[in-house]
A and B are shown apart, each in its own frame.
Chain A
Amino acid sequence: MDLRGRVIPAYQLDEPIDYPIKRLPAVTWRCQRCGQLPTRGPCTCGKRCYYCRHCLVFGKLRTCDYLVTDPRPLEPVQADHHAELNLTVDQQRIARAIVKTIDQKKRLLVHAVCGAGKTPMLFPGIERALCTQKRVLITTPRADVVRELTVHVKGAFRQTTIVSLFGGSADRLQLGDITISTTHQLIHYRACFDVVFIDEVDAFPYHADRTLHRYVRQAMRTGASLILLSATPSLRNKLLPTVRLMRRYHGFPLPVPRLQIPYTETDVLDWLATHSTKPRLVFVPKVDDLKVWQDVFRQHQLKSETVHAADPDRITKVGQFRQTTGILLTTTILERGVTLVDVQVAVLDADQAFSVAALIQISGRVGRSADFPEGEVVFFANDRSDAMYQAIHQIKQANREGFR
């Protein structure tokens, strides 16, 4: 196993190794893999060792364990060029800014609206990085986004090795010239990437989890450039040098959500009836509400599917939904990273539990394809929340800025 730039617990080495490995302590006052404070518990070594509860799923690490790594330098990066791209003028502006950031080894926040075509804008930057011997990492908190990005990037770069990492992927512990990974999987990587893109920086759980920030920081080399991508960046991220793209790639404005306050079941059913020929996404605030609304729809002879985070066949359900004109009830799990053609969106109880960023992302699901650039977003609510009005305000502002 090639361990350059990676660390694993010593007991996970399954094959004999013919080079001198470097042994590192596993748990000192902090876990040396994830950086959390360890817990004390019984241990077979006869003492009560400290071990890390936080990264237990990656294999237990105890004070009496060791981490191993290969200290030799990494192999050089293969240069590669991307396939033909047709970027709009705005996209080219952002792509130039990204290339400049990579050359100058700096940091950048790309604030681009939902459906601006963020992925193709990265390709000139990735090409520049590969041609100047830099290893590229594209990381995001969501495994669904990783799968989608892998398809895009594999289509554009044919020569390089592209590795896709998420929980249960076949490429575990591999290192490619381009690595696409969930932030969690970066726990095994140390100082091996020169260019790091973080897609959806404000997504759950990355935005609040400091340990995930640590994983990314540990995986970066000193002097690596960091490019953050988001449609709804937090105030903290806005402190970085920022480029803004407020116009979608097909040139149509973002759909502005309509408010329906107060609402009843009949309002929702009427809305579903008006769009009966199109796929409809219905967002609810809590997992328990899925069942309630599914029963309501069933009483009116409407078939619907439900999707939530703990659902084992989430991917197949969304895949099936792509082909049909049905109703999909979901929680905020589908707020980002899904592209559905000609979808209409309703948010039920939009005043509860939805943040501004979530509402903007949800509204961004509509009208993403060039063939169907328009659609309807409705916020159904019985009360008024700041988040709803903020979201509508920000969407309108983005449209104003994009069409100045």
Chain B
Amino acid sequence: MKCRLCGQAFLPSWSLSNVWTRQTLCPTCKIEFVKRGECADCGKPGHALCADCQQWRKQGQTLVTHPLFLYHPQAKAFMKQYKFLGDTALLEVFKTELKKVKVKQDWIVPIPLSPERLAERRFNQAEWIARMLRGRVHLALERTDGVALSHLSRRQRYERTNPFHVIQPVGGKNILLVDDVYTTGITLRQAASRLREAGAKEISAVTLFRSV
């Protein structure tokens, strides 16, 4: 079998527990993906509640986020291939992990891209992660800015105005936000605050990676 990520041929290890799962990553690539850390709110390794999340809690902006993995070099290689080269079928390597996420919320809402960015990238990476989860996906948000977040400093991210607005009736719904990488948590919280203003009940989030 061929590894989806590095292209290297490998022998899948068959056992009774995994006969029905499709093995898409070679053992060397698989071992590189490190599971989330201890922080209850954002999955950062180190403390039970990291300094950033304590700050957020003080400000009353609690958002429980469940990242699957840490954003280590191998994860960066994955994101480069998936997000920037547009290898959408690569997402299948996380199929089992994404299916295991327990979704009790009514709606799954992916973080949208701005129309210009969508035209350039030609797909929304968060939307396809959301569609891998077990639950109903609603594109309830819209985005207007076009500034790439990865070029901004942390401070600039804080100062930025909220680019999101809600385009579907979310009143009384429990909502699960989905994004690809959690870096500072600003984007997710901005989206969450807009949804709360529109009347959403409880909001939490799932991301594929937590950057460290």
Contact = CB atoms under 8 A, between A and B. Distances in A.
A42 interface: yes
Contacts of B91: 41-42
Interface string A23-53: 0000000000000000111111000000101
A42 B110 CA distance: 15
Contacts of B128: 42
Interface residues of A, number: 11
Given A44-B122, A51-B88, 7 more contacts: A39-B89, A41-B87, A42-B128, A42-B131, A43-B123, A56-B87, A60-B86
Contact of B122 (A53, A56, A60): A60
B123 A56 contact: no
A41 B122 contact: no
Query: What are the 8 tightest A-B residue pairs by CB atom distance, in nearest-first order?
Result: A41-B88, A41-B89, A60-B86, A42-B88, A39-B89, A56-B85, A42-B128, A44-B123
Given A42-B131, A44-B123, A57 B88 contact: no
A128 B20 CA distance: 63
B118 interface: yes
A56 B118 CA distance: 18
B7 to A, nearest CB: 9
A205 to B, nearest CB: 12
Interface in A48-102: 51, 53, 56-57, 60
Interface string B123-137: 110001001000000
A57 B124 CA distance: 19
B86 A40 contact: no
Nearest to B122: A44
B86 A56 contact: yes
Contacts of B81: 56
A60 B89 CA distance: 12
Contacts of A56: 81, 85-87
Nearest to B89: A41
Contacts of B85: 56-57, 60
Interface in B90-142: 91, 118, 122-124, 128, 131
Nearest to B123: A44
B165 to A, nearest CB: 21
A51 B128 CA distance: 16
A44 B118 CA distance: 9
Contacts of A60: 85-87, 122
Interface string A222-236: 000000000000000
A168 to B, nearest CB: 16
Contacts of A57: 85
A42 B123 contact: yes
Nearest to B92: A41
B191 to A, nearest CB: 21
A56 B128 CA distance: 18
**Which one of A39, A41, A56 has the greatest number of beta carbons of chain B within 10 Å?**
A41
A44 B113 CA distance: 12
B142 to A, nearest CB: 16
Nearest to A64: B122
A318 B108 CA distance: 54
**Which one of A40, A42, A51 has the greatest number of beta carbons of chain B within 10 Å?**
A42
A131 B187 CA distance: 64
A44 B123 CA distance: 5
Contacts of B87: 41, 53, 56, 60
Nearest to B132: A42
Nearest to B121: A44
B147 to A, nearest CB: 21
A242 to B, nearest CB: 34
A271 B18 CA distance: 53
A167 to B, nearest CB: 15
A304 to B, nearest CB: 27
**Which one of B122, B128, B131 has the greatest number of beta carbons of chain A within 10 Å?**
B122
Nearest to A50: B89
B124 to A, nearest CB: 8
Interface in B70-93: 81, 85-89, 91
A26 to B, nearest CB: 13
B160 to A, nearest CB: 26
B202 to A, nearest CB: 28
B87 to A, nearest CB: 6
Contacts of B122: 44, 60
A42 B123 CA distance: 8
A41 B122 CA distance: 13
22 contacts: A40-B89, A41-B87, A41-B88, A41-B89, A41-B91, A42-B88, A42-B91, A42-B123, A42-B128, A43-B88, A43-B123, A44-B118, A44-B122, A44-B123, A51-B88, A51-B89, A53-B87, A53-B89, A56-B81, A56-B86, A56-B87, A57-B85
B163 to A, nearest CB: 20
